[in-house]
Chain A
Amino acid sequence: AQSVTQPDIHITVSEGASLELRCNYSYGATPYLFWYVQSPGQGLQLLLKYFSGDTLVQGIKGFEAEFKRSQSSFNLRKPSVHWSDAAEYFCAVGVGTGRRALTFGSGTRLQVQP
């Protein structure tokens, strides 16, 4: 069965510092991988996704992620964090027909210090 692991429950970074959120997956086939952000009172917003092709994926809000098949990882990065990036981040793998049913990781809460 598929699974997604986000080993960091909570991360605190200073504004302007770089960020990397870790994600490891387990899935028998080629994965469809996603990163979502959830802010209080708002729905999940898609940051970026990987289906195939270039393993370095660019997303919205200056985020990028790199798919590493050998490490079963899809880590999210941002070179300079803004205070507005404080939120909960979820990594997910798409399964089933069309790979749209998502299995989510447990999430990483990002706190940004001024």
Chain B
Amino acid sequence: GAVVSQHPSRVICKSGTSVKIECRSLDFQATTMFWYRQFPKKSLMLMATSNEGSKATYEQGVEKDKFLINHASLTLSTLTVTSAHPEDSSFYICSASGRLNEQFFGPGTRLTVL
């Protein structure tokens, strides 16, 4: 199947700083990318859906000013956690979908905010 990468795989930051997470589709063009958040021992929760060149659509309860999503190209989407706080610590996972509607997941990024 297609490959989706995320960078970084782990990040530790101080409270109040911003962190950017990249999601790349390596061998296909991703018209749509999804961002999920996974709490420890919990399920994945969809945060937002982004289409290339458009503003992201956020799920209810997700602060769009807190979690900035940019999908500037068909192979790259970024999630920026602004002014991160300890409660933002989580595992963030992206997925990418191309023209065939198949969806491929990245390996995830573990964010720890001190």
> Which residues of A pack against B, CB within 8 Å?
36, 41-46, 90, 96, 98-107
Contacts and interface: CB of A to CB of B under 8 A. Distances in A.
Given A43-B105, A44-B105, A106 B42 contact: yes
Nearest to B42: A106
B43 A43 contact: no
25 contacts: A43-B4, A43-B93, A43-B105, A43-B106, A44-B44, A44-B95, A45-B105, A46-B103, A96-B49, A98-B32, A98-B97, A98-B101, A99-B101, A100-B32, A100-B97, A101-B34, A101-B46, A102-B95, A104-B36, A104-B43, A104-B44, A105-B43, A106-B43, A107-B42, A107-B43
Contacts of B44: 44, 90, 102, 104
Contacts of B103: 46, 100, 102
Contacts, number: 47
B10 to A, nearest CB: 10
A44 B107 CA distance: 7
Nearest to B102: A46
A15 to B, nearest CB: 24
Nearest to B97: A100
Nearest to A103: B46
A106 B101 CA distance: 24
Interface string B46-66: 100100000000000000000
Contacts of A104: 36, 43-45
Contacts of B4: 43
Given A96-B49, A98-B97, 20 more contacts: A43-B93, A43-B105, A43-B106, A44-B44, A44-B93, A44-B95, A44-B105, A45-B105, A90-B43, A90-B44, A99-B101, A100-B103, A101-B49, A102-B34, A102-B36, A102-B44, A102-B46, A102-B103, A104-B43, A107-B42
